[in-house]
Amino acid sequence: MTAPPRLFEPVSLRDVSLRNRVVVPPMCQYSAEHGIAGDYHLVHYGRFALGGAGLVILEATAVVPEGRITHGDLGLWSPDHGAALARVAAFLRANGAAAGIQLAHAGRKASMQRPWEGNGPLSPDDVARGDAPWPVVAPSPIPLDEGWLMPTALTPAAMADLVAAFAAAARRAEAAGFDVIELHAAHGYLLHAFLSPLSNRREDAYGGDRAGRMRFPLAVARALREAWPAGKPLFVRVSAVDGLEGGLTLEDTLAFAHALKGLGADVIDCSSGGLAGSATAARVRRDYGFQVGFAERIRRETGLATMAVGLIVDPRQAEAVVAQGRADLVAVGRESLADPNWALRARTEFAAWPRQAGWWLERRARDIERLGPWRPA
């Protein structure tokens, strides 16, 4: 008898049970109004629950208005924001998926254009449309690139305020009914910018060596763990490597993961790159499952659960990642955008048809292979 697929085994993280190991990861939609989720978000995220995913994590959600990437980002800095998100979380849970939300601050990548409007610094045309820029912050006054806003270096007092803002957002996420929060410490946004020696040139306790660069991100993670219920898991998304000379290395990320484990983090979501340029511009060679190796090594060397992400497109590919112990969860992002029913369809790849039907379907498969795709006459 063929063993059942590991990909569709239920998994428990603290007191939260996932019906399977398929995760729809955060993918920004840039479609909020003043940070408030609307009908678009309910329908967009709801379809993944109906499509069979075990966990659906909402896009990067800013903990303060200035932490948004664009004017279209979700926010969670007030009770009104939490109330709008609550109906999304309720729909996900009512339809079998655990509800997750990613808490974020964009740092020096804040106050920029939506991707389809240029994906760069805000222009006079954007201002005329009503998207005026706002001041941005970072660990050091180093702009993302030529023509981008010059960030102000955060003071320790301002950092303390942001730690409190992250904790407050976690409490609002709990009130809104979310099962999982993910801390965004990747893709060049604020916490990643602190971790990388290329963007953190501070000479105080929050810069310099690896321990100094980790200090503020770990303070945020600690505050989230304390604010978030003990029975609910905390994920952390990392850029495992910068992929740039002199940048963040996997050894740095392993040290960060060990420290996160000590604070009570449960899952490391293993991405890469994004420090310079687009958040989705990986600096490592893109191939199928190109970031799975990061998840595998972090899992092996820290004992933490990990989530693999990056060009995971085929059900058997995803099954192999889990079955071989390379990661505990598999994030299926853009494939889920193309097919919100990816998880349901994936199950059919492993279905054992009753023998009375199976021989008919095997014959049909041979005929289809011989004839090729159907085309109209």
Specify whether the CB–CB gap between 240 and 205 falls below 8 A: no
- How many CB atoms sit inside 10 A of residue 112's CB? 25
- How many CB atoms sit inside 10 A of residue 280's CB? 15
Please give the backbone phi and psi of residue 175, each rounded to the nearest 5 degrees, phi first.
-65, -30
**Could you tell me which residues come within 8 angstroms of residue 286 by beta carbon, excluding any fewer than 6 positions away?**
310, 311
| Cα 130 versus chain centre, distance | 28
Q: To the nearest 5 percent, what fractions of the chain are helix, strand and coil? A: 40, 15, 45
Alpha-carbon distance values, 204 to 112, 139, 191, 223, 226 (Å): 29, 11, 16, 21, 26
Count Cβ neighbours within 10 Å for each residue of 255-266 and write b for 16 or more, e otherwise. Answer: ebbebbeebbbb
Q: Which of 30, 189, 206, 288 is catalytic?
A: 189
**Could you tell me which residues come within 8 angstroms of residue 223 by beta carbon, excluding any fewer than 6 positions away?**
163, 164, 166, 167, 170
User: Hey, which residues does 184 pair with through a beta bridge?
Assistant: 237
3-class secondary structure, 81: helix
User: Hey, which residues does 60 pair with through a beta bridge?
Assistant: 102
- How many CB atoms sit inside 10 A of residue 88's CB? 26
Specify whether the CB–CB gap between 194 and 204 falls below 8 A: no
Active site annotation includes 189: yes
Any idea which residues carry the catalytic annotation? 189
